[in-house]
Homo-oligomer: A and B are copies of this chain.
Amino acid sequence: MVYTIAIDGMGGDNAPKEIIEGVEAARDRYSDLEFLVFGDSKKISNYLKDSDRITIISTKQVIAMDEEPVKSIRTKKDSSLVQAANAVKDGRADALFSAGNTGALLASSIFIVGRIDGIDRPALLTEMPKFDSKIDKFVMMDVGANAENKPSHLYQYGLLGSFYVEHVFKYKKPVVRLLNNGGEEDKGDQMHKNAHQILKKNKSINFKGNIEARYLMSDDTAVVVTDGFNGNTALKSIEGTALTMLSLLKTSVEQGSFKTKLGGYLLKPALKSIRNELDYNNNGGAVILGVNAPVVKAHGSSKSVAVANTIGQTRTILESKLIKDVQKFAKTHIKQLQDVKQFDLPEN
């Protein structure tokens, strides 16, 4: 089986250079991948060394990192992102990759690639490393696609996250928990209380109750269900703390006594391996789940290594038949997905 991935060649802080170098690295690594790269063909050609299995499709517009998402995809029809999304919609490509504007990629996913029938609110899933646990990684969803969520959305995230972990990580019956500010089921605001109740009733997932943020990196939860606002806070708090601590340790080594400096030198490999596990360049990108194809977002500042690794993750998702299985499930369980909406709160 050969898969074709549509690449937004102009998205990201280091586009098109690092994107193209990453695509070539992925092409060399995986013999079953082909690429449609959308963007400024002149600029792209400057960096492309070998066009084997890589087709450049010229586009004239670029959506900047800070442009208003929905407006930009409506007005910039000939942008690298919109054209790449069109290729997925038309069946010319199987998956979409971008390191550009997250909001615009989300809008393209929903309005061009299209929502899976039965899934109301696609969202961002991220893979994170687990330490001090029986499992080596976990996923969290939503980590920021939506600023406001309803209980029925969180119900769907429990399903989508479980499907992802079963397909991509090959974990069996992954433990699902709801990120909340306490362990008991009556904790949190009304949205989280209702979400807890409907997640508990869902026999298709292995729901085990709430998780507090302090156990995210260490307990047995493989799928963390969260609203986008709170999930974004958790993700960024973890990243910030980890980076701050590593830099702190580096400073105390640099400014320390000879003894401390020597200690830091000897401990370097151990520190490096921790940093690597936390470094997004070595982990995958964020996945927009709930739409009719794999859409994967690499970090905006990705270098070619991160681009190649994220393409590898995209390939794993394609191979796993994740999207087909979600589509099938949503179709056969449409009543279950609709019924939980009675637990949604009235709109403000």
**Residues of chain B with a CB closer than 8 A to A246's CB:** 245
**A267 at the B interface (CB under 8 A):** yes
**A217 at the B interface (CB under 8 A):** yes
**Residues of chain B with a CB closer than 8 A to A348's CB:** 190, 345-346, 348
**A334 at the B interface (CB under 8 A):** no
**A233 at the B interface (CB under 8 A):** yes
**Residues of chain B with a CB closer than 8 A to A228's CB:** 181
**A292 smallest CB distance to B (angstroms):** 27
When each residue 233-259 of chain A gets 1 if its CB lies under 8 Å from chain B and 0 otherwise, what string results?
111111111111111110111001001
Bin chain A's interface residue count.
Answer: 35 or more
* CA distance in complex: A269, B261 (Å): 12
Taking A245-B245, A264-B267, A274-B249 as contacts, is the C-beta distance between A148 and B233 under 8 angstroms?
A: no
When each residue 143-178 of chain A gets 1 if its CB lies under 8 Å from chain B and 0 otherwise, what string results?
010011000000000000000000000000000000
Taking A240-B215, A242-B241, A270-B256 as contacts, is the C-beta distance between A144 and B181 under 8 angstroms?
A: yes
**A214 at the B interface (CB under 8 A):** yes
**Does A263 lie within 8 Å of B265, measured CB to CB?**
yes
- The residue from B179, B189, B236, B247 contacting A214, defined by CB atoms under 8 A apart: B236
Number of copies: 2
* CA distance in complex: A245, B266 (Å): 18
* CA distance in complex: A230, B229 (Å): 8
**Does B213 lie within 8 Å of A236, measured CB to CB?**
yes
**Residues of chain B with a CB closer than 8 A to A249's CB:** 267, 270-271, 274
When each residue 266-285 of chain A gets 1 if its CB lies under 8 Å from chain B and 0 otherwise, what string results?
11111101100000000000
**A132 at the B interface (CB under 8 A):** yes
* CA distance in complex: A187, B147 (Å): 8
* CA distance in complex: A230, B274 (Å): 27
* CA distance in complex: A169, B253 (Å): 29
For A269, give the chain B residue with the smallest CB separation: B260
**Residues of chain B with a CB closer than 8 A to A260's CB:** 266-267, 269-270
Taking A230-B229, A259-B266 as contacts, is the C-beta distance between A242 and B240 under 8 angstroms?
A: no
**Does B132 lie within 8 Å of A244, measured CB to CB?**
yes
**Residues of chain B with a CB closer than 8 A to A273's CB:** 252
Of A232, A235, A251, A274, the most chain B CB neighbours within 10 A belong to: A232
**Residues of chain B with a CB closer than 8 A to A301's CB:** none
* CA distance in complex: A63, B269 (Å): 50
Which residues of chain A (43-72) have a CB below 8 Å from chain B?
Answer: none
